[in-house]
């Protein structure tokens, strides 16, 4: 691949001048030499080395989005929001999936730091008692030293501006709605143990007067398991509020498989309003995932972020 010095030689112009015309510098260059350089670049098929450029400017045009699980539509929606605004400005957004937990998150964070990413957005929540929390905090600080702006889209255990919605209120609102329907015995299927988000959603359920909570998770399979636990009881609850849509759907499918009438016999709800919720007609609460992604990207482009809490809203469909 042709480099600046190739162009320079070919066009009979200094490297500096080539650099100036080839990267839209404000520095004046005569039309004559400009076109000569352009022509040489064209002929030789010049492509800049983003690596070299980033090395000297001390910042690349990469925005990293660290998500909990790339197949989870919750994260996909966020990533899409980031991408939408980043692409306009020519930034490359790379989504990194940390399926293996905090360790993987730390690994990705370090890589992003090492590549001088312009921005790093943490899409998922932090974990209580996270063994690598301290290391994460250090790496975040280092990334900042290198000019990265880091933003969190859920509660984390390091210093960072946050763009979020109120998980506790979301859970509270939907629980209240379900109670308002006249359901007395309501079971809550918890999120993954340890996640701050899980704790917040459980707290919302509790504050709304809920008392019966069982273990769960954020995956479809977790919902299936929760359904089985419920099916094993003497009597089914009137309603079950799952900590998120995926689990709610697993629960819903398993319950119906077992011949349970939803919503006739048991009402089922989720939180997040991801695409699959739409597919199955799940009652849930809409949260501004795409908008969070957009704002996160804007924050890194503007190199400055402010804490915000975005609104959520009940979305009633056919499972209640």
Q: Interface with a second copy includes 279 (CB under 8 A)?
A: yes
**How far apart are the C-alpha atoms of 68 and 97, rounded to whole Å?**
6
Q: Which of 24, 26, 145, 184 lies at the binding interface for a second copy (CB under 8 A)?
A: 145
Q: Near a second copy by CB under 8 A, which window of 9-17, 122-130, 204-212, 276-284?
A: 276-284
Tell me the β-bridge partners of 187.
212, 240
* Closest to a second copy by CB, 94 or 230: 94
Q: Which helix (H) or strand (E) holds 212?
A: strand 212-214
**How far apart are the C-alpha atoms of 110 and 245, rounded to whole Å?**
31
Q: Which of 76, 154, 189, 305 lies at the binding interface for a second copy (CB under 8 A)?
A: 76
- HSE, CB side, 13 Å, CA atoms: give it for residue 278: 5
Complete DSSP assignment for 135-196: HHHHHHHHHHHTT-EEEESS--SS---BEEE-HHHHHHHHHHHHHHTT---EEEE--STTBH
For a second copy, the binding residues in 12-51 under the rule CB under 8 A are 45, 47-51
* Closest to a second copy by CB, 45 or 182: 45
- Count the residues in the chain: 320
**Among a second copy, DNA, none, what does residue 33 contact (CB within 5–8 Å per kind)?**
DNA
CB-count burial class (<10 Å; 0-12, 13-18, 19+) for 32: exposed
DSSP β-ladder status, 267-269 and 284-286: unpaired
* Closest to DNA by CB, 52 or 89: 52
* Closest to DNA by CB, 18 or 292: 18
**How far apart are the C-alpha atoms of 185 and 318, rounded to whole Å?**
19
* Under 8 Å between Cβ of 105 and 314: no
Instruction: Provide, rounded to whole angstroms, the least separation between the CB of residue 256 and DNA.
Output: 56
Q: Which of 35, 42, 43, 49 lies at the binding interface for DNA (CB under 7 A)?
A: 49
For DNA, the binding residues in 15-34 under the rule CB under 7 A are 15-17, 19-20, 22-23, 25, 27-30, 32-34
- The single-letter DSSP state of residue 218 is S
* Closest to DNA by CB, 49 or 211: 49
Chain residues binding a second copy by CB under 8 A are 1, 45, 47-52, 54-55, 60-62, 64, 70-71, 73, 76-77, 79-80, 83-84, 87, 90, 92-97, 99-100, 104, 107-108, 110-116, 138, 142, 145-146, 220, 249-250, 253, 275-276, 278-281
Chain residues binding DNA by CB under 7 A are 3-5, 12-17, 19-20, 22-23, 25, 27-30, 32-34, 46-49, 52-53, 55-58
């Amino acid at each position: 691949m042709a480099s600046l010095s190739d162009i320079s030689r070919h066009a009979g112009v200094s490297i500096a001048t080539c650099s100036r015309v080839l990267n839209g510098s404000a520095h004046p260059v005569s039309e004559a030499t400009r076109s000569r350089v352009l022509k040489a670049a064209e002929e030789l098929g010049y492509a800049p080395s983003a690596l070299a450029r980033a090395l000297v400017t001390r910042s690349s045009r990469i925005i990293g989005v660290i998500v909990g699980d790339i197949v989870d539509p919750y994260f996909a929606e966020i990533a899409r929001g980031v991408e939408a605004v980043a692409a306009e400005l020519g930034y490359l957004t790379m989504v990194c999936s940390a399926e293996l937990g905090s360790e993987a998150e730390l690994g990705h964070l370090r890589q992003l730091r090492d590549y001088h990413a312009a921005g790093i957005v943490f899409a998922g929540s932090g974990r209580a008692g996270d063994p690598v929390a301290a290391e994460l905090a250090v790496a975040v600080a280092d990334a900042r030293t290198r000019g990265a702006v880091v933003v969190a889209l859920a509660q984390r255990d390091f210093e960072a501006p946050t763009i979020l919605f109120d998980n506790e209120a979301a859970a509270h609102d939907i629980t209240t709605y379900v109670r308002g329907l006249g359901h007395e015995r309501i079971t809550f299927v918890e999120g993954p143990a340890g996640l701050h988000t899980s704790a917040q959603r459980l707290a919302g359920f509790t504050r709304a007067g809920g008392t019966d909570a069982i273990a769960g998770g954020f995956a479809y399979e977790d919902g299936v398991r929760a359904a089985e636990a419920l099916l094993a009881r003497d009597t089914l609850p009137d309603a079950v509020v799952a900590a998120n849509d995926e689990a709610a759907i697993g629960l819903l499918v398993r319950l119906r498989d077992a011949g349970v009438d939803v919503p006739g016999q048991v009402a089922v709800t989720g939180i997040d309003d991801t695409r699959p919720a739409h597919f199955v007609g799940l009652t849930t609460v809409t949260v501004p995932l795409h908008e969070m992604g957009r704002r996160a990207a804007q924050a890194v482009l503007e190199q400055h972020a402010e804490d915000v809490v975005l609104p959520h809203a009940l979305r009633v469909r056919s499972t209640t």
